[in-house]
Amino acid sequence: MLTGVAVETALAPIALYHFHRTGLLGSVANMVAIPLTEFVVMPAEALALLLDVVGAGAPAWWVVEKALALLVALAHLVAAQSSAVVLTPAISPVAFAVTMLGFLWCLLWRRALRWAGIPLIALGLVGYAAASTPDILVSADGHHVAVRTPEGRVALLRDKAGDYVRDQFSELSAVEGDPRALAELATARCSPDLCAIALRKGGKTSHILLTRSRLAIPWAALVQSCAAADIVIADRGLPRRCRPRWLKLDRYDLTRSGGAAIDLDQGTIWRSRDPRDEHPWVR
């Protein structure tokens, strides 16, 4: 049990940073799963294979089947608990680096000096806890947009997006469950070409305009809609006269800076790529 807790403690910051989720009950489940596997499943399999030589392995295979069914039932039971998994939004690389530095300090030293790494771990975990959940996520091509609803769910601009996109947006938003369609939200007005949605965050209402097709939109109507919006997001190039009140993310902007995560409470935006990066594989 203690070994399992130690392993989960060491791996949790890494899993949260890369995958935005980690399990909490693995060491408890392993208290049953590991003895069941080592003392029942594996010996019964070996016996079944041996008895198969003379065609008498069926009883042993029955034991294997029931033991594996119990193992799967245990996995489902643990996974169904509300505390089985912790979800976090995207973690700051600085918080991750500080936490890992603290762990390495504790592991590399052998005397009392090793415990000087604990304050670093604590400082890094404060950064984990302070990670804010983005209100809007935009893919690098502007084709996919996810909005976090007031109920804490994720709504997708294109509800027929593939499983990979749906999983990525759900993980980055720290939300379990299947995303819903943005057009179904009460505050959204959508046509085949555009979606306009109002989000109440940070004590104010932000108006977001999103394109959802590649068809031509009348220039005057598009410019007028841009002026009425705080944020405009498009997977096409928008005219210069399209001037929202705060932020315009179109094909030209996203090509330079990659995908984006927007926090309406703080009025901040994070980019997936530094536009000053001149590495040939980025260009």
pLDDT digits (tens, 9 = 90+) for 74-86: 999 998 887 788 8
Measured between alpha carbons, how far is 65 from 59 in angstroms, rounded to an integer?
10
Q: How far is CA 38 from the centre of its chain?
A: 34
- For 54, phi and psi rounded to 5 degrees? -110, 15
pLDDT score, position 40: 95
pLDDT score, position 173: 77
Helices and strands (H and E) in the chain: how many? 9, 13
Is 162 within a domain? Answer: yes
Token reading at 190: 């959508």
Measured between alpha carbons, how far is 65 from 233 in angstroms, rounded to an integer?
53
Is 202 within a domain? Answer: yes
Is 249 within a domain? Answer: yes
Domain count, the chain: 1
Strands 154-156 and 180-181: parallel
Average pLDDT of the chain is: 88
- pTM of the entire predicted model: 0.69
pLDDT in tens, 29-38: 889 999 999 9
Token reading at 74: 């245990």
Is 50 within a domain? Answer: no
Token reading at 177: 């469950």
The answer to whether the CB of 148 falls within 8 A of the CB of 264 is no
Is 97 within a domain? Answer: no
Angle at 266 between CA 260 and CA 270, to 5 degrees: 20
- DSSP state for residue 56 in the 8-state scheme: -
Identity at 240, one-letter amino acid code: R
Is 93 within a domain? Answer: no
Q: In Å, how far are 25, 115, 251, 282 from 278, measured between CA atoms?
A: 44, 41, 19, 7
Selection from 114, 118, 88 nearest residue 21 by Cα:
88
Q: What's the start-to-end Cα distance of the chain, in Å? A: 49
Domain that holds residue 206: 136-271
Is 105 within a domain? Answer: no
pLDDT in tens, 185-206: 888 899 888 899 998 887 788 9
Average pLDDT over residues 129-135: 83
Is 1 within a domain? Answer: no
Token reading at 209: 């305009």
More confident residue, 170 or 60: 60
